[in-house]
Amino acid sequence: MSGTPETSPPDHPPVRLVVFDMDDVLLHYDVDARRAAIGKLAGRSLAEVEALIWTSGLEDAADAGKLTTDAYLDAISAALGVPFGRDDWFRTRALAMTLDPAAMALVERVRARTPVALLTNNGFIMKEHFDALVPRLRALFGPAMHVAAEFGTKKPDPAIYRGVASLYGVEPSQAVMIDDKAVNVEGARAAGLRAHRFTGADALEVFLAELALI
């Protein structure tokens, strides 16, 4: 399959960094379960929570680093009309996350040969809670766990992919991005990275093997 958009031409530089998305790649993220849990706290329907926090752009603003953690929680509280603090955020986020052992096993295999990092479209509050929310991912990635907010933008902006490559001292052409969203994969490719759209661990294993990363 060499030479397809999934893989790379023979003269492509060796891969020096593999970047994994988190939600719906390394874990299943049930966003509706999270919205329902927030709604239960606030006496709101799932649809109301979606409109107030997601459709309104509040969540996107936090992901892109435009809101500090305190400003983010204050904005949610104001939108819902009830107090919403760190503990509320943690509980409603944690119940929506289920790790994918097969995907995690592939990270373990990749990191035996090549540096790995994690990049997720999330705000500063996620960065503060990685250790408590996903300690098994911390064990895999160590300090190389990043939220989009750190870069002042979010996927699929090509700048974020170039930013993470630069952070690790590699050229975009030496990095690979694994993401479940087609638009994010396209953004990574526009930035010069090789990229794979995650649809399951089996297909990811084939892709990684084709690049001699496992």
Which H or E run includes 195? strand 194-197
- Are 66 and 120 in the same domain? no
Residue 91 in 3-state DSSP? helix
- What is the per-residue pLDDT across 105-127, written as a single tens digit (0 to 9) for each? 999 999 999 999 999 999 999 99
The residue from 52, 75, 94 where one domain ends is 94
- Are 154 and 111 in the same domain? yes
Tell me the average pLDDT across 126-133. 98
Residue 52 in domain: yes
Residue 86: per-residue pLDDT:
98
Paired with 175 in beta bridges are 17
pLDDT tier at 3, thresholds 50, 70, 90: very low
Q: Is the pLDDT of residue 175 over 60?
A: yes
- What is the per-residue pLDDT across 14-73, written as a single tens digit (0 to 9) for each? 999 999 999 999 999 999 999 999 999 999 999 999 999 999 999 999 999 999 999 999
Q: Is the pLDDT of residue 10 over 80?
A: no
Residue 183 in domain: yes
- What is the per-residue pLDDT across 181-206, written as a single tens digit (0 to 9) for each? 999 999 999 999 999 999 999 999 99
Report whether 179 contacts 25 (CB < 8 A): yes
Both structure tokens of 92:
């409603």
- Are 54 and 138 in the same domain? no
Please give the mean pLDDT across all residues of the chain: 95
Q: Is the pLDDT of residue 140 over 70?
A: yes
- Are 183 and 105 in the same domain? yes
- Sequence-distant (≥ 6) Cβ neighbours of residue 17 within 8 angstroms: 114, 115, 116, 117, 164, 165, 168, 170, 174, 175, 176
Give me the percent of the chain exceeding a pLDDT of 70: 95
The residue from 94, 119, 145 where one domain ends is 94
Residue 11: per-residue pLDDT:
61
- Are 74 and 148 in the same domain? no
- Are 148 and 48 in the same domain? no
DSSP 200: -
Residue 194: per-residue pLDDT:
97
Write down how long the chain is. Answer: 214
The residue from 94, 111, 139 where one domain ends is 94
pLDDT tier at 4, thresholds 50, 70, 90: very low
- Are 145 and 206 in the same domain? yes
**Distance between CA atoms of residues 209 and 214, nearest Å:** 5
Residue 12: per-residue pLDDT:
77
- Are 67 and 109 in the same domain? no
| CATH code for position 75 | 1.10.150
Tell me the average pLDDT across 145-167. 98
Residue 10: left if φ>0, alpha if ψ -120 to 50, beta else—which one? alpha
Residue 107 in 3-state DSSP? helix
- Are 74 and 139 in the same domain? no
Both structure tokens of 160:
């974020």
Tell me the average pLDDT across 139-164. 98
| CATH code for position 197 | 3.40.50.1000
Where would I find the H helices in 43-179?
A: 46-49, 58-63, 69-80, 86-94, 101-111, 124-133, 135-141, 158-167
Residue 76: per-residue pLDDT:
98
Q: Is the pLDDT of residue 5 over 70?
A: no
Residue 107: domain span: 17-28+98-210
Residue 12 in domain: no
**Distance between CA atoms of residues 159 and 84, nearest Å:** 32
Residue with tokens 């919205």: 35
